[in-house]
A and B are shown apart, each in its own frame.
Chain A
Amino acid sequence: MPNDIRLKIKRQDSQSSTPYWQEFVLPYRPSLNVISCLMEIQRNPVDATGKKVAPVVWECNCLEEVCGACSMLINGKARQSCSALIDRLEQPVVLEPLSKFPAVRDLVIDRTVMFNNLKRVKAWINIDGTHDQGPGPRFPEKTRSWAYELSRCMTCGCCMESCPQVNPSSKFIGPTAIAQVRLMNALPNGENDAEERLAALMEPGGVAECGNAQNCERACPKEIPLLTSIAAINRQMVAKSIFGALNK
């Protein structure tokens, strides 16, 4: 059993300042996750050389891998820090912010782009209003059960981080938004706006820019079938263009 836990953390004081590395040594306890280590640093903000430092800044909420807040690079892999257990990680544990999003401070990044992407593809059901309209449409369990898998996307950003096509010189919308279009189009009330959502994915930065690197599905902490979803959207688009041509 190790006596201590060593962490190496990439820090950055503000959006534009130069990143630097800091190391921390904490007393070992079994069954810790990365977040309990960061909490320990808050209680005793001292680096490995004994120097007092500002506690490391990071984002987290639920600590049970459903909120998607605590994404970071842990030993080079994009994942949720709440479910990253120290006992299963090689030391020193290296923590870095996700690199595909604007830095805020330390491990905090700005993922607004992902929420904006959901707006771009109109990832919502266009209901008449919240007033009483009686029961909704029936929905076969067979379809519902795969749609449910897609509805578990936490917008955590791990797929975006792992995708080579998401980079500063590309407008690629990324796997998340594409999978959400597939979800919305599969819901009984969502079909009405299916074409509009597909049209959004035909624009620059849309599904055509997927380079088929296939990293996204491996990176997804919820094992959402992103590759199948991208393929399904491609098929929906082909169907839409053929159907569109026939209708002319």
Chain B
Amino acid sequence: MSAPQVLVIGGGLAGLMAAIRAAEQGATVKVFSLCAPKRSHSACAQGGINGAINTLGQGDSPKYHFEETVYGGDFLANQTVVKGFTDAAPRLIYMLDRMGVTFNRTPEGFIDLRRAGGTKFNRVAFAGGTTGQQMLYTLDEQVRKLEEKGKVEVLFPWDFMEAIIDEGGVCRGAVLQDLTTMEVKAFRGDAVIMATGGLGYLFGKSTNAIINNGSAVSALYQQKVTYANGEFIQIHPTSIPGDDKNRLMSETCRGEGGRVWVYKDGKPWYFLEEWYPNYGNLVPRDIATREIFKVCIDMKMGIDGENMVYLDLSHLDPNWLNQRLGGILDMYEIFVGDDPRKVPMKIFPTVHFTMGGLWVDEKQQTTVPGLYAAGECDYQYHGANRLGGNAMPACMYAGELAGNTSMAYIKGLDKLTADMPETAFASAQKKNAEFDASIYKMSGSENPYLLHREMGEWMTTNATVVRYNDRLQQTDDKLLELIERWKKIGVSDSTGWSNQVVPFTRQLWNMLQLSRVITLGALARNESRGAHYKPDYPERDDANWLKTTLADYTKDGPKLSYEEVDIQHVKPRPRVY
């Protein structure tokens, strides 16, 4: 009998962890990625990974980590699964340490910890200011070892087009495109694990890499796989505004003592410290973002009247800062030209993290058997707002779990895809190749990159920090207009080799469909919870809205329905910092 075949789509932390776990249990794994796994967006995670390892003796424990995560997420996350990842976080940090992540150390050589928002414990293990990069490289090395043993094959650059779902509604593989040869190909997979990250690129500029376009999960949504909590998009309070993207400046800058201020009456005004004496600059991201908006937009007190505030590290010892935050301080200096060790940085909020994602059960399985999702592309760990430092433990945990549960699922199958007839795979391949060919032929007057920019501007203006129902409705009307205009795109590159316009055009269609899910989910939810804020409905409304949004594709747009949230461990209470 052949070995089980697992397809992992995405080579970031969640995808590589899933691949390692599945390979350890005897699967042959193919990892498909848009880029070399080392270049995945996980490399951009700066601050670190939360885990209550308590090496500083502050009395932290996974229980506090769990409770603060649920509270930080404004009670929208299913609590039992959150408990799963917060309990596992110390073990995952130790595993990464054994693999060789260069975590900063205490004087005695234990793993050092620093603070992030929404907690008073030092809980973030970190490797300078580039923790995600070090973690990603370490998993990449482990995967390279498995490649040498012939257990894993890594293929890039490949773009996901569609899952192969049989008549019984079971996932049997995927169709992808080789972005160099442009070949469209069907692959058999006894389980398919999606680990394609977030969707910041829908908003044009964000802290995300430009490959984070949500295209793969949108393709699945259009295949009737349920998408959940789409309206929950995290806006990070501190980024460096740029022309091509807005670059992240880690929350742990504030964890290490950074202060946010603007001038008031000629003197620095530390407005977060004044308004939140308990947590100060380390209030959770949704709150810090709204307050920066208030200062800049409502009070018009941004730096020189512009939409920016200071993030100040200049009072701290530069050598110590280099040790703790080196990589990102260099980045600020390169892109802005000022040395943040000497002068305050200028920052403004931007789109950062996708709390929503493909609906999954407690085993990371989507609504389609055999199809799994893990990492930022799943919906289930962060509720309405993610805490700083929680992205990486959640995606490591989800990846590990998906690797395990997909293998358990495969063991229960009667038949592996290797033994199935070619027909279904050939027809899925043909269908997608025909769709690809139809894009090559598009000869209208619209430019896909301009349409993308227009979409991003509308989404950023109307579906981020402050949301109004009339503007959300106008945004959906705009998206429908853009969908019509998409059909009039002219493809400016007809080459059948390393063509970037054709896949981008396909991805743009998917981005437009997913933007509707975000916009209409936000329109429907008449309350304020975590990152979702409506001035016309300023309070959290547990009686009506303590529920998960489910979006199912229909040709008339997303059909929304709702599901109860698991609140069996911590009773919801008002969220006050």
Please indicate the chain B residues that have their CB under 8 angstroms from the CB of A43 in the complex: 447, 449-450, 453
Please indicate the chain B residues that have their CB under 8 angstroms from the CB of A33 in the complex: 243-244, 335
Residues B492 and A67 in contact, CB atoms below 8 Å apart: no
**Bound state CA distance, A118 and B140, in angstroms?**
11
Please indicate the chain B residues that have their CB under 8 angstroms from the CB of A190 in the complex: 100
Residues B500 and A155 in contact, CB atoms below 8 Å apart: no
> Taking CB as reference atom, which chain B residue is nearest A187?
B100
- Among A128-136, A158-166, A201-209, A210-218, the one that faces the other chain is A128-136
Q: Is A22 an interface residue (CB 8 A)?
A: no
Given A33-B243, A152-B133, A61 contacting B35 (CB threshold 8 A): yes
**Bound state CA distance, A132 and B90, in angstroms?**
10
Please indicate the chain A residues that have their CB under 8 angstroms from the CB of B91 in the complex: 132
> Taking CB as reference atom, which chain A residue is nearest B447?
A43
**Bound state CA distance, A155 and B104, in angstroms?**
23
Q: A34-73: which residues lie under 8 A (CB-CB) from chain B?
A: 35-36, 39, 42-45, 52, 54-55, 57, 59-69
A148 smallest CB distance to B (angstroms): 4
**Bound state CA distance, A57 and B128, in angstroms?**
34
Please indicate the chain A residues that have their CB under 8 angstroms from the CB of B127 in the complex: 148, 151
Please indicate the chain B residues that have their CB under 8 angstroms from the CB of A122 in the complex: 145
A158 smallest CB distance to B (angstroms): 14
- Among A139-147, A167-175, A234-242, the one that faces the other chain is A139-147
Q: Is B325 an interface residue (CB 8 A)?
A: no
**Bound state CA distance, A242 and B386, in angstroms?**
55
Residues B105 and A139 in contact, CB atoms below 8 Å apart: yes
Specify which of A61, A66, A118, A140 is in contact with B211 (CB 8 Å cutoff): A61
Q: Is B184 an interface residue (CB 8 A)?
A: no
Residues A141 and B492 in contact, CB atoms below 8 Å apart: no
Q: B486-501: which residues lie under 8 A (CB-CB) from chain A?
A: 492-495, 497-501
Residues B109 and A155 in contact, CB atoms below 8 Å apart: no
* Interface range, A side: 35 or more
**Bound state CA distance, A190 and B142, in angstroms?**
13
B469 smallest CB distance to A (angstroms): 32
Residues A42 and B130 in contact, CB atoms below 8 Å apart: no
Please indicate the chain A residues that have their CB under 8 angstroms from the CB of B123 in the complex: none
Q: Is A248 an interface residue (CB 8 A)?
A: no
Residues B141 and A148 in contact, CB atoms below 8 Å apart: no
A150 smallest CB distance to B (angstroms): 8
Residues B109 and A42 in contact, CB atoms below 8 Å apart: no
Residues A152 and B130 in contact, CB atoms below 8 Å apart: yes
Beta-carbon contacts of B30-72 to A below 8 Å, as 1s and 0s?
A: 0000111011110110000000010000000000000000000
Residues B38 and A68 in contact, CB atoms below 8 Å apart: yes
B51 smallest CB distance to A (angstroms): 11
Q: B107-132: which residues lie under 8 A (CB-CB) from chain A?
A: 107-112, 127-128, 130
Q: Is B245 an interface residue (CB 8 A)?
A: yes
Residues B109 and A141 in contact, CB atoms below 8 Å apart: yes
Q: Is A14 an interface residue (CB 8 A)?
A: yes
Residues A64 and B210 in contact, CB atoms below 8 Å apart: no
Residues A13 and B497 in contact, CB atoms below 8 Å apart: yes
Q: Is B106 an interface residue (CB 8 A)?
A: yes
A171 smallest CB distance to B (angstroms): 19
Given A36-B244, A138-B108, A184-B100, A54 contacting B495 (CB threshold 8 A): yes
Query: 7 A-B contacts, Cβ less than 8 Å apart?
Result: A29-B243, A45-B492, A57-B499, A63-B210, A67-B41, A125-B100, A129-B24
Which residues in A have some Cβ–Cβ distance to B below 8 Å? 13-14, 29, 31-33, 35-36, 39, 42-45, 52, 54-55, 57, 59-69, 82-83, 85, 104-106, 108, 111, 115, 118-119, 122-127, 129-130, 132-136, 138-141, 144-145, 147-148, 151-152, 154-155, 184, 187, 189-190
In the complex, given contacts A62-B44, A118-B141, A140-B105, what are 19 additional A-B residue pairs having Cβ atoms less than 8 angstroms apart?
A13-B497, A43-B449, A62-B209, A63-B209, A65-B331, A82-B244, A111-B36, A115-B36, A119-B144, A124-B145, A125-B142, A129-B24, A134-B94, A138-B105, A138-B108, A141-B105, A145-B104, A148-B104, A151-B137
